[in-house]
Chains A and B, each alone.
Chain A
Amino acid sequence: MKGLIVERAGPLALIQDGGRFGVRHLGVTQGGAADWVSLGWANWLLGNAPQAPGVEITVGGLTLYAEAPATLALTGADLGATLDDEPLVPGCRFTIAAGQRLAFESPRAGLRAYLAFPGGLDATPVLGSVASTVRESLGGLDGQGRVLTEGDCLTWSGGAGPERTLPSGVGTLPGDGERVTLALVGGAQIADFSGTSVFEAFNTAWTIDQRTDRMGVRLTGPELHYQGEGMVSEGIPLGAVQVPADGQPIILLNDRQTIGGYPRLGALTPLACSRLAQCQPGTEVWLTPVAAGQARDVHLRQLACWG
C-alpha cells in the first residue's frame, strides 16, 4: 500500500490520538497527543474527528517521502518544516505530490508539531486507542508502542474534507516574549502547603527544567514546603502538580503513572497542559489559579470550535 515512507526517523515521532481511556484502573497510562489542541486543529483542517490519529513530531529530525499524493495538515511547533526544501509554516493544510519530501529540522518555536492525514492515520487500536506508549509497549503502527522508524509506511483510508483555513490566532504558538500563563485548578493537598509556598506557587516565574518528557515536566524555582503527613498512593489526574521532597514541582502529563504518593497543589487544566507541552527547557511560565467551573467553560468552548 502506498503512503508516506519514513526516510529519517528523528528522535521521537509517535502516532497519537486523544488517548487511551477506560483502562487506567489496570495501571495503563492515558497517553495521547501532549498538545491535543494542535492535533485537534490539524484534524479540523482536513474535516476529521478532532482526535483522529496523527503523528506527533517532537523536536524534529523526521523526513517523510511521499509515494502517493496527499492532502495533509500541519500545526503546533515550528520545527523548520520544508516541502522539497520550500519552507512550510505550521497552521496550514497543504498537498504533497508523489516523489516529494516533507522534512522537519529543529525547533524554532515550540517542541511538538502535529501532522494530520485524510480521515486519520491507519493503525489498529490497542485497548481502545492507537496512542503510542513506548514504556508500556502499546499502540502505534505495530501495536507495540514503538517510535516511528526508518522504513515505516504511513497510510490512511479517508478523504480530506472541503478546503479550510484556520481562524486567526489558533493552531499556532504564541510569539516570543509572550508570557506563558498556565491555569491551575487548586485542590488535592494544597491546604497542607505553607501559606508562603502557596503564595510563591502563583507569584513566581517558574523555569522549565531540562528533565521534561511525555510523563512530566519539572519546574525549578523557590522550594515549596508541604506540611502534611506522608501520603498513601492515589490516582493522578492529567496536569497534576506534584511536589516531591526537594520542593520543586513536577507537572504530570499524558504518559504519567496512574497512581502516586506525592502531595499535589491541584492540576493544570487540559488546555494548560497542551500549552506546557510546547514549552522548551528554559522557558519561564506562571501558574494562575482558576475555578473548576470556569476551566470547564473554557474547555467546552475549545471543543465547540471543532463542532
Chain B
Amino acid sequence: MSDPSIETVGMDSLIVRLFDNIDEENMPWMLAADRALREAFGEALIDLVPSYTTLLVHYDIQRLDLQAARARVSEALKGLTPVTSGEGQRHVIPVWYDVSVGPELERIAERLGGSQEDVIARHCARDYSVFALGFAPGYAFMGRLDDALATPRLKTPRQKVAAGSVAIAERQTAVYPTLSPGGWNIVGRTAVALFGRDREGYSLFRPGDKVRFEAISREAFIEQGGDPTPLAERGDTPTEAQA
C-alpha cells in the first residue's frame, strides 16, 4: 500500500485513496481500512462506501468539521493491519448456463475460439473476489476473470436484464440481483437470491467474499426456483469502447 491520500470531495464527504489500480491484493487493506474507519467515526459516520481502491466517508457535519473528520481518518489509518484472507465468506453459486438465458455465451465462445462448454468450464474454474458493491442493491463486482473470457460491454445496454443473470464485462463478472437495465454480457442465470430486505445484512455478497460458480442443468435450476424465461432482448454487437 502506498501512502494513503485524504481528498475533499464535498461539504461532508472525504475520499480515502489507498491504491491506484484494481487488484485482488488490495482487498485485505481495504477491509482493514473499512473496519478502522467505522470504528474511528462511530456515530459521526453517515455512510462509508468502499470501492476498488478508495473509501468514501460521508460524515455528520453536526458532529464534525472538515479538520476533525480528516484527523479521524488519519488516526484510523495509523498502524493498519491487513485483514487476512479467509475471513470473508465463501459462496458457491449454481448457474444454468444456456444461450436462452445467456445469449452472449455464443459471442464469448467465438472470441475464445472454443465451444460454449469451454466458456462455462473457464468461468467455473476459479474463485472470484468481491471487489465492490454498486450499480444496484447487492450488485457485486467480482474478478479477476480468466483473460480469455474478457469481453467488452455491449454497445447499447439492454433495457431489461432478468434477475439472477450472470454477467461478464472486461475482466470482471457479476450477477444482476433484480430486473434492471444492463450492458454486460449475459452467460447464464442463477436462482439464488442476492439481496433481500429480510436477509441478515441485506446483501448475500460483501467485499472480500470469495465466489465460485458451478454449472447446473435446466432441471436443477427450475427445482431451485429459477425462472427459465428466455432473455427477451438479444444483445447487440460489442464495442471496444467502455459502456
Binding site for B on A (CB under 8 A): 21-28, 30, 126-127, 135-138, 143, 185, 187-188, 232-240, 257-260, 264, 266-267, 269-270, 292-293, 295-296, 299-300, 303
| Contact between chains at A232 and B51 (CB < 8 Å) | yes
Of B52, B61, B139, B202, most buried by chain A (CB within 10 Å of CB) is B61
Known: A22-B46, A137-B178. A240 touches B51 (CB 8 A): no
A187 near B135 with CB under 8 A, answer no
A27, A267, A292, A300 — most chain B CB neighbours (10 Å) = A27
- When the two chains form their complex, are residues B11 and A269 in contact, meaning their CB atoms are under 8 A apart? yes
How far apart are the CA atoms of A240 and B195 in the complex, in Å? 27
Residues facing A in B47-96 (CB within 8 A) are 47-56, 58, 61-62, 65-66
Interface string of B26-55 (1 = CB under 8 A from A): 000000000000000000001111111111
7 contacts between A and B (CB under 8 A): A21-B46, A27-B138, A187-B7, A234-B53, A240-B10, A260-B134, A303-B62
Inside 8 A of A239's CB, which chain B residues have their CB?
Answer: 10
Contact of B62 among A28, A237, A300 (CB under 8 A): A300
Interface residues of B (CB under 8 A from A): 7-13, 15, 20-22, 46-56, 58, 61-62, 65-66, 132-139, 141, 178, 180, 195, 197, 201-203
Report whether A233 and B134 are in contact in the complex, using a CB–CB cutoff of 8 Å: yes
Choice from A30, A187, A258, A270 contacting B8 with Cβ under 8 Å: A187
- Rounded to whole angstroms, the CA-CA distance of A303 and B12 in the bound complex is 15
* Residue from A21, A232, A240, A303 in contact with B52 in the complex, judged by beta carbons closer than 8 Å: A232
Q: Is A296 within 8 A of B12, CB to CB?
A: yes
Question: How far, in whole Å, are A293 and B61 apart by their CA atoms in the complex?
Answer: 10
Known A27-B138, A138-B137; contact A233-B51, beta-carbon cutoff 8 A: yes
Q: Out of A22, A23, A234, A296, which one reaches B56, CB within 8 Å?
A: A234
Tell me whether A292 and B11 are in contact in the complex, defined as CB-CB below 8 angstroms, given that A26-B203, A27-B203, A235-B55 are known contacts: yes
Q: With A and B bound together, what is the CA distance between A236 and B55 in angstroms? A: 10
Please give, as numbers and ranges, the residues of chain A lying within 8 Å of B20 by CB-CB distance: 232
CB A145 to nearest CB in B, in angstroms, measures 11
In the bound complex, do residue B202 and residue A25 qualify as a contact, i.e. CB atoms below 8 Å apart? Answer: no
Chain A residues with CB under 8 A of B61: 296, 299-300
Q: Is the beta-carbon distance between A296 and B180 smaller than 8 angstroms?
A: no
Q: Which residue of B lies closest to A271 (CB)?
A: B11
Give the distance in Å from the alpha carbon of A143 to the alpha carbon of B12 in the complex. Answer: 29
- Given the interface contacts A27-B134, A237-B9, does A296 sit within 8 Å of B48 by beta carbon? no
Residues of chain A contacted by B137 (CB below 8 angstroms): 23, 26-28, 136, 138
A residues in contact with B132, CB < 8 Å: 233, 259
Closest Cβ neighbor of A294 among chain B residues: B11
Q: How far is the CA of A303 from the CA of B137 in the complex (A)?
A: 30
Q: Which residue of A lies closest to B60 (CB)?
A: A21
B197 in contact with A127 (CB, 8 Å): yes
